[in-house]
Structure 1
Amino acid sequence: MKQLPNIAGALLGLAFLLFGLNHFFHFLKMPSGGESGPHTVAFFTAISQSGYLDFLKVMEILGAILVVIPKSRNWGLLILGPVVINIIAINLFIKGHGAVFAPPVIIIAALSAYLLWAGRQSFLALLNSTSKQP
């Protein structure tokens, strides 16, 4: 039970590292966009052509590396948190039709939520900080 956060961190880090690196090196065959709706195609065309997707994938790789290392896991979660929220939002609002219930989306969201819960004391310390002001 004590190793569960390390296992979850390794799995989450592996997923983001794999898909982040695949964006640059194309070693995985991705499904064709034939089943994508016009909103999905327009969205991904816009973020691809603007360079934002490259930036996002670099952040995924950085967050993946940090989340695998227990001492830097919370920094990794701070980087990957907005990415996970956007993955959920894209699948809910843009892709639609129950795409938010796809197994990869659920697994990534569940692993992220678990790691956030496991490290909640560190995050609560940020909120409960009573720093003295000069």
Structure 2
Amino acid sequence: MKHIPNIAGALLGLAFITFGLNNFLNFLTMPSGGEAGPHTAGFFISIGKSGYLDFIKVFEIIGGLLVAIPKTRNFGLLVLGPIVINIIAINVIIKGHGAVFAPPVIVVSVLSAYLLYVGRKKFLGLLN
């Protein structure tokens, strides 16, 4: 049972490192505008052309590395927290039609919530 947080951290870190690096190296095929929907495609085209997506992807890579290392996991969760919230928001608001129930969204959300729950005592110290 004590290894489950390490496995969850490694999986979450691997996901963010993979998708963050994919933005720069293009080793995975992403859906075209028609498959993703016009609103989603327009959103990602606009943040991609502005350079903001590159900024976010750098923080995904940094947060993924930090989450994968047990000693820096909580700091990594602080970095990735806003990104996870935005992933959920994009899937609820922009994509809609139950996109929040897509397997990658569920996996990232559940792993993040689990790691946050495991480290809750340390996070509660931030509120005092």
Q: TM-score, normalised by structure 1?
A: 0.93
List aligned pairs for 1:63-102, cutoff 5 A. Answer: 63-102=63-102
CA deviations 1:55-111 (Å, max 9, x no partner) are 000000000000011110011000000000000000000001110000000000000
Deviation at 1:51, TM superposition (A): 0.5
Question: For the pair shown, which has the larger CA radius of gyration, 1 or 2?
Answer: 1
Q: Show the counterpart of 1:46.
A: 46
Q: Determine the C-alpha separation between the residues in 2 that align with 1:67 and 1:35.
A: 31
Q: Show the counterpart of 1:132.
A: none
SS of the aligned residue for 2:91 comes to: helix
Deviation at 1:28, TM superposition (A): 1.2
SS of the aligned residue for 1:30 comes to: coil
Q: Determine the C-alpha separation between the residues in 2 that align with 1:25 and 1:44.
A: 17
Q: Determine the C-alpha separation between the residues in 2 that align with 1:31 and 1:44.
A: 12
1:111 corresponds to 2:108: no
Q: Show the counterpart of 1:6.
A: 6
Q: What is the RMSD of the two structures over their aligned residues, measured on CA atoms?
A: 0.8
CA deviations 1:16-58 (Å, max 9, x no partner) are 0000001100111222232222221221111101100000000
Count of residue correspondences: 128
Residue type at the aligned position of 2:44: F
Q: TM-score, normalised by structure 2?
A: 0.97
Identity of aligned pairs, percent? 72
Residue type at the aligned position of 2:100: V
Structure 2: runs of 5+ lacking an equivalent: none
> Runs (4+) of structure 1 moved beyond 4 Å?
none
Q: Determine the C-alpha separation between the residues in 1 that align with 2:89 and 2:23.
A: 20
Q: Determine the C-alpha separation between the residues in 2 that align with 1:72 and 1:36.
A: 34
Call closer, same or farther: CA 1:38–1:29 in 2, change over 3 Å: closer
